[in-house]
Amino acid sequence: MKEISESITSFSLEISSRLTEITEWAAVGGLGEAAGAIAQTLAEGGVIQAFGTGHSEAFAMEIAGRAGGLIPTSKIALRDLVLHGSHDVAELDSLEGSVLERENGVAEELFNLSLVDPRDIFIIASNSGVNGSIVGLALAAKSHGHKVIAVTSLQHTNAVTAKHSSGMRLSEIADIVIDNRAPFGDTTLEVSGGGGVGAVSSITGAYIAQLLTIETVQCMIRAGKKPPIYISANIPGGDEHNNALIGQYIGRLRRDA
């Protein structure tokens, strides 16, 4: 039990130190540029298009369609290629859909299948920042004139070879880059005999998503705008409040399972 307790303590310190670093960075204006760009997009009638593959899809879910979040948010997912496109469901059967995740050629189709308006902004999360679909969608968004915000591990992405045919990484394409502070390989604790446990990118990513939402709301309030925020559907009046605001974006929001 002592060894287990020491591991838990070590992991807790790994997490808390990273969250503290992100907090200190955000407190001195680190999120200002990204939050300002999002607030401007929303003020102009745009929507936040959030995308992540594998475990980074959790970041997109944290941005799009949750209580306390912004209503003008839409989630792009690889499964859209099956649900709304021409791909077979078997292509999603591999671990985390890794075939599609690493495929260079799916990004333009994925972009075209998405409910994208010229006013929209993209937030793309990827710990490695090098897989084909991630880089490809960032390039597609940029080629269509959209601003791109990246959330990635700078330590990891700078230590690996780019996989996209362009030779670029997500961090090299995005207009604004946010470092999720995850280490190379994501894990923080070594295991006897090799390997590691204690991955952190999902935790730091969720924290960044919430800080970004909070700062965007503050930007809108300072500009005299009323932020369109979801409230929980499980409290009285929640559905009525949310549906009234969602109605302003009919045909522009997607949150498929």
CA angle 79, 80, 81 (to 5 degrees): 85
Q: What six digits make up the tokens of 77?
A: 């997912």
Those residues with Cβ within 8 angstroms of residue 68's Cβ, 6 or more apart along the chain or in another chain = 210, 213, 229, 230, 231
Residue 59 lies in a domain: yes
**Tens digits of per-residue pLDDT, 114-166?**
999 999 999 999 999 999 999 999 999 999 999 999 999 999 999 999 989 89
Q: What six digits make up the tokens of 199?
A: 């991955």
CA distance linking residue 171 with residue 140, whole number of Å: 15
Residue 257 lies in a domain: no
Residue 253 has pLDDT above 90, yes or no: yes
Residue 255 lies in a domain: no
Residue 228 lies in a domain: yes
Residue 107 lies in a domain: yes
Whole-model pTM: value is 0.92
Compute the mean pLDDT over every residue in the chain, rounded to the nearest whole number.
Answer: 92
Residue 254 lies in a domain: no
Residue 155 lies in a domain: yes
Total structural domains within the chain:
1
3-state secondary structure 89-114: HHHHCCHHHHHHHHCHHHHHHHHHHC
Share of the chain above pLDDT 90, in %: 77
pLDDT at 3: 60
DSSP string across 74-94: EEE-TTHHHHTSS--GGGG-S
Provide the CATH number for the domain around residue 55. 3.40.50.10490
102 pLDDT band (50/70/90 cuts)? low
Find the domain containing 189 and state its range.
2-249
Residue 189, class by beta-carbon neighbours within 10 Å (0-12 exposed, 13-18 middle, 19+ buried)? middle
CA distance linking residue 69 with residue 240, whole number of Å: 16
CA distance linking residue 20 with residue 65, whole number of Å: 27
**Tens digits of per-residue pLDDT, 196-211?**
999 999 999 999 999 9
85 pLDDT band (50/70/90 cuts)? confident
